[in-house]
Amino acid sequence: MKISALDPFAARRALDGVTTVAGLDDDAIVERYARVVWNVVTEPGDGVAGRLIAALGAAPALAVVEGGSVIAPVEGVSTREFAEGRRRWSPRLRSVDVDDALALARARGVELVCPDDPAWPHRVDDLGPHAPLALWVKGEAAALASLTPSVAIVGARAATSYGEHVAGELAAESAGRGIPVVSGAAYGIDAAAHRAALAVGGTTVALLAGGADRPYPAGNGRLIDRIAESGAIVSEVPCGGAPTKWRFLQRNRIIAASADATVVVEAGWRSGSLNTASHARALGRPVGAVPGPVTSAASAGCHRMLREFDAACITSADDVWELVGLEGDSSQRRSGSMDSRSRTDDASRVTDALSVRVWRGADDLARRSGMTRQQVEALLGVMLLEERVEHGERGWRLRFATS
């Protein structure tokens, strides 16, 4: 029997206890079941399946694949792509696999979240046809919906104690300020980030490359259980699925897509964390890297990001806030030597009239500060001596603050 021929009653029974069924009409139930089928038969990030489902809906798309006929023109899917896709999907198009995945999820307490559920993290929709078709969640599905804003903190498995310390600091301060921390539950940086977020009672979400029922790596099993207690363990791979290399790379795209910004704390020259950063960049999301000693191989990937990727240099939680697009305390710190307590009123007026980027002439500054040119120039002279301004051919500007 073709899977696409499943009646609404059987579909509802199969889904019940694993995902939302209440309030869904027969069409919605069949559509949701078909989405699970697609999730089971495809590997993560299958863009042809994504485009086919976007164009036709999951159930009609499934019927077309099972129908055996040549595809009618579908937006974004060529005949050749469809034929190749069908060859990829057919070997897995067995209802027993779908039923097994759902039964396993039910038995393990793993919830299925679909794009029309309230818990769906809509940031991942930016992946377009490569967005996950569904997410399997162990723990609090609501944590997924809380990821706006959020930050992904990732890094090397072979982390140093320096890297783990910094990852912990950044995660604790972020989670402590109410910014959930997304990571991959790997050894090293990922684990340090999750642990610190948990320690401050913050929200943390782990994306796994294998099934959400399979704690991986096994050595982090206890940590993964704790994450599920207050946050969520998430995977697009159905329960029982093994964490293959491909799935790790695709898992990285969901980490990048579900957070507002991605920060890499330590990474070797070719670390997989750079892959996550790549995905974030491809999505137009801000990317940051924590510097470290240039003598440390564990920081080489971060320095590479600073140099080749134009990643932001992250040295504190304030920088993370700024990266995520929130106001940190850094603006105050950044005002540099212009300590408001030590400024005279007149000097503040000149300071306010100055720019750090644009050169301004004394006349312009006089106009902007509402003072005479003579007053302005006298103050500029003092500020030049104090190294608070610089003077060039095109006028004056605020100096990068030094002692």
The residues pairing with 280 across neighbouring beta strands, listed in sequence order, are: none
Q: Shortest Cβ distance from residue 352 to a copy of itself (Å)?
A: 19
Q: Is 336 in the site for a copy of itself (CB under 8 A)?
A: yes
Among the residue ranges 117-125, 132-140, 145-153, 329-337, the one whose residues contact a copy of itself (CB under 8 A): 329-337
Q: Is 165 in the site for a copy of itself (CB under 8 A)?
A: yes
Q: Is 286 in the site for a copy of itself (CB under 8 A)?
A: no
User: Residue 21 or 283: which CB sits closer to a copy of itself?
Assistant: 283
Q: Is 67 in the site for a copy of itself (CB under 8 A)?
A: no
Q: Is 282 in the site for a copy of itself (CB under 8 A)?
A: yes
Residue 293: alpha-carbon gap to chain centroid: 26
User: Residue 8 or 47: which CB sits closer to a copy of itself?
Assistant: 47
Q: Shortest Cβ distance from residue 48 to a copy of itself (Å)?
A: 12
In contact, 75 and 48? CB cutoff 8 Å: no
User: Residue 117 or 173: which CB sits closer to a copy of itself?
Assistant: 173
Distance from C-alpha of 229 to C-alpha of 140, rounded to nearest angstrom: 7
Among the residue ranges 180-188, 202-210, 216-224, 302-310, the one whose residues contact a copy of itself (CB under 8 A): 302-310
Distance from C-alpha of 98 to C-alpha of 33, rounded to nearest angstrom: 9
Distance from C-alpha of 234 to C-alpha of 231, rounded to nearest angstrom: 10
Q: What element of type H or E holds 145?
A: helix 142-145
Q: Is 316 in the site for a copy of itself (CB under 8 A)?
A: yes
Binding mask 143-162 for a copy of itself (x = CB under 8 A): -------------------x
With 0-12 CB in 10 A as exposed, 13-18 as middle and 19+ as buried, what is 219?
exposed
Q: Is 21 in the site for a copy of itself (CB under 8 A)?
A: no
Tokens 């994450």 label which residue?
227
Crossing angle of helices 373-385 and 362-369, rounded to 10° = 110
Buried b (16+ CB within 10 A) or exposed e, 328-348: bebeeeeeeebeeeeeeeebe
Q: Using CB under 8 A as the criterion, which residues of the chain lie in contact with a copy of itself when the complex forms?
A: 47, 128, 162, 165-166, 246, 249, 268, 270-272, 274-275, 277-278, 281-282, 290-295, 299-300, 303, 306-309, 312-316, 319, 334, 336-337, 385, 387, 390-393, 399-403
